[in-house]
Chains A and B, each alone.
Chain A
Amino acid sequence: MNRTTTRQTSSRSLSSSRDGSRGFSERVVREISEYKKEPRWMLEKRLKSLELYQSLDDPGFGVTTDSLNINTIVPYLRPEVQAARNWEDVPEEIRSTFDKLGIPEAERKALAGVGAQYDSEIVYQSIKRELESIGVVFLDMESAVREYPEIVKRYFMRAITPSDHKYAALHGAFWSGGSFVYVPEGVSVPLPLQAYFRMSMEGSGQFEHTLIIAEKGSSVEFVEGCSAPRFNEINLHVGMVELFVRDGARVKYSTIQNWSKNTLNLNSKRAIVGEDGTVEWVSGSLGSNKTMLYPASLLVGEGAKSEHLAITYAGKGQHMDTGAKVFHMAPGTSSVIDARSISINGGWAFYRGKLHIASNAKGSKANVKCTALMMDDNSRSDTVPVIEVKTRDADVGHEARIGRISDDQIYYLTTRGLSEDQAKALIVKGFAEPISKEFPLEYAVELNRLLNLELEGAIG
């Protein structure tokens, strides 16, 4: 079944033209909390996070964030803020990208920030009746805080605490928007749930928080897609995803990240997996100027499993620091990481991973595979997996390979009538295929289109 349930931003036009406040201060935190009519405990959590943010140092690894002037970023954009921008102002490159992606006229304007587009806060939600009838809750985070305070209080920022790192603290203080999914015990959600986030105002930050709780024996698939037009200022994205996969449950979380090439994308994603539970992360990271993203799986219950499938594209002007982390913390746990990257036109793809097998994780199995394709000699590719094994009763394997498309492959395809560029594009698509096939059909198509577009610009 390829149907998906979508919560979209509304395209209703609002008359207010109030600007979002820039900078990260206590005043802004209080305003956000007040505006969202949050309970006191959430305001306190935000304030505590702000305090931590101010005291923590930048992470001691990954991309540099010197170009980021945090004071110019809008941490929160109210829904009534209307973009005051003309279609003519949209760069030609973006307009032609919309053409090639086949995005409808109305949506193009919204994507380009010239239509009335709501940002940061999801104000429109559509929950299928059939979901409600089986007890599944699918809400924006703000509504969840108000309507399900006990559940949110129990899980919100418990997988990734604000003290985890500086940007987790920043997120804790200024989070806004995102999705909340609660799947009751034994329920299988019959269709993928989907949230499409968009940034469309220059300088606006995006701090969406996604919280998914899959109770015992339940299953759900969630699809997150990101897209944003290019603007002149640095855009900041500090999202967070927390998955609680209870005993015997299964959660599949798929993402296509295609932020504009001026976005600084510092995302944190973590799953806590109970006994015989399974988490699957499927990621396509194509956009942004710089990215730091390492989805983590904490396998805390016996027999818990995780699978990380990721493809990263680093093109012109892109520094992609991506990876995966798996912590085997119980016996009989297993994990697979398959990370692929493409470096082209001076881009830098950096795989950073961690695999930890704790002393009690006896009988665990883990396999890490990194493959990198270098399309030219101006680009760079790194793999740095850290493997820590604290028990002898574990089976751990790792392999990595960096190389180019072989002349033989190209020759073979050109003798079949393809041009060299077509041959290269076909090989790249084949390289990405094991990951792209894991996405719902329309997302797989989008991923292929995006790859085509990138390669067209890069090779053709």
Chain B
Amino acid sequence: MEKALSLSHGEFTLVEPHVSRMTLASYGKRELKQMLRISSKDAGKLRSSSYLEYAGKGFPKWKRASLDSLKLPTLDMEAFVRTEGGTDFRSMNSITSEDLSIINKLSFEGSDRKFVTMADAFFNAGSVITVGSTDRTAAPIVITVEGDTPTIMSNLFVLDKQVEVTVVIRNKTGSVFSLMNNRFFVDEGSSLNLLFINEADADAFVLSNSYCLLSANAQLNMFDLNLSGKVVVPSHVSRLGGDSAVSNNWALYSAAGSSVFDLSYRLRHSARKTRGIIDGIGVLGGSAKSVFRGAIDIDKGAKGSSSSEHSDALLVSGKAVSDAIPTLSVKENDVEASHAATVGSIDQDTVYYLQNRGLTQEEAERLIVSGKFDPLIEKIGEVIGGGIDGGVRVAIIEQLGTLSGSN
């Protein structure tokens, strides 16, 4: 299993961080039984083995993103998920033994193993999507979560050698709970352009765990946009497992009201000449809180690799708070690894200047923030294409409107 932390080195071991556990009224045997009725033999195996692990431990009692008020609504057999583009789609309920073996190879810890196993046990949406070399010019695959019922989704994406594909996963749930697992296997020389957009309900708990395994010369270009939700915990891990693999992770977030965003991005370099970037920018209004975790792990043997992480947080309200936890863990000396973080407020001289030009303080701040986001939005347009940057820009501008009035 791809674990988040590497706790040993030679004869030495670090104390494993203790995670307190708690009990929540949650899904159990009854829901599992219903789900098993509509599952293939191998989907059933996935559900049952995941359930065993899920049932064996409580929910995490996180310090920074509290789940204490999470009340899980009744789980429907099927969620409202719209899927467009792509050719080879199969329901996660009908997976084969071959699919299951890939899923097992892509076993990972996520933000907490409880949620990864929960999604694999109780998914009410999800697909296995294979992109073969004949799909080279395939249209973007767009998966949109909608509706008012809870979505638990588990997806597997398999990219054959030498293909390029764009995947957009948009979460517009109206429910208070959404959970997803996304696993990606990217074979040699292939490129995955990936955009996550979270526009969930303001009261929603949004948990998203992804794991991407990159083969030699494979490339991931990932954008993770988080614009709403009550407690939002995305955790994205990529393993640069083949020589010269590349993982670019760009994160943009805007949190208002009393939202808590705990965002985690991890790059694990385990092959030679791999390259990685984590670059995050966020703005916080109201009494919102963000935690930005950017982790770079470089294994022994990943010679000639380079990796960098950078995060900026802008606080536009007196009550907003922000944490940054950038970590480096390096077991190879022939590498370059760095991280940097800043937390600060909008430059008041610039606000004053714009106010002198006739803008209100609110408008001035909004202009400055959207200006900071612009380069990233443009990059989304370049990489994802299809005019999606326009939609993203509109969504962000709408969201920024909710930031003010809380000074």
- A: residues with CB less than 8 A from B are 58-64, 290, 317, 319, 321, 346, 348, 350, 359, 372, 374-404
Contact = CB atoms under 8 A, between A and B. Distances in A.
Contacts of A379: 331, 333
Report whether over half of chain A's contact residues are helix, strand or loop; otherwise say mixed: strand
Nearest to B316: A392
A145 B330 CA distance: 47
Nearest to B318: A392
B333 A389 contact: no
A309 to B, nearest CB: 20
Given A63-B15, A387-B324, A398-B340, 13 more contacts: A321-B14, A350-B14, A374-B330, A374-B332, A377-B331, A389-B321, A389-B323, A389-B324, A391-B315, A392-B318, A394-B344, A398-B326, A400-B339
A36 B334 CA distance: 55
30 contacts: A60-B17, A61-B15, A62-B15, A63-B14, A64-B12, A64-B13, A64-B15, A321-B14, A372-B328, A372-B330, A374-B333, A374-B335, A378-B300, A382-B328, A382-B329, A382-B330, A386-B323, A387-B341, A388-B321, A392-B315, A392-B317, A392-B318, A392-B345, A393-B345, A396-B343, A397-B342, A398-B340, A398-B342, A399-B341, A403-B337
A400 B326 contact: yes
B247 interface: no
B204 interface: no
Report whether over half of chain B's contact residues are helix, strand or loop; otherwise say mixed: strand
Interface size class on chain B is 35 or more
A237 B15 CA distance: 19
B148 interface: no
B11 interface: yes
B77 to A, nearest CB: 41
A348 B10 contact: yes
A380 B331 contact: yes
Contacts of B15: 58-64
Give the one of A64, A375, A382 with max B CB within 10 A: A382
Given A348-B9, A374-B333, A404-B334, A389 B322 contact: yes
Nearest to A57: B18
Contacts of B303: 377
Contacts of B321: 359, 388-391
Nearest to A356: B323
A384 B342 contact: no
A346 B303 CA distance: 17
Interface in B295-339: 300-301, 303, 313, 315-318, 320-339
Given A60-B18, A346-B10, A350-B14, A400 B343 contact: no
Nearest to B11: A317
A294 to B, nearest CB: 14
B323 A388 contact: yes
B39 to A, nearest CB: 39
Contacts of A58: 15
Contacts of A399: 338-341
A67 B322 CA distance: 39
B320 A386 contact: no
A396 B341 CA distance: 8
B64 to A, nearest CB: 9
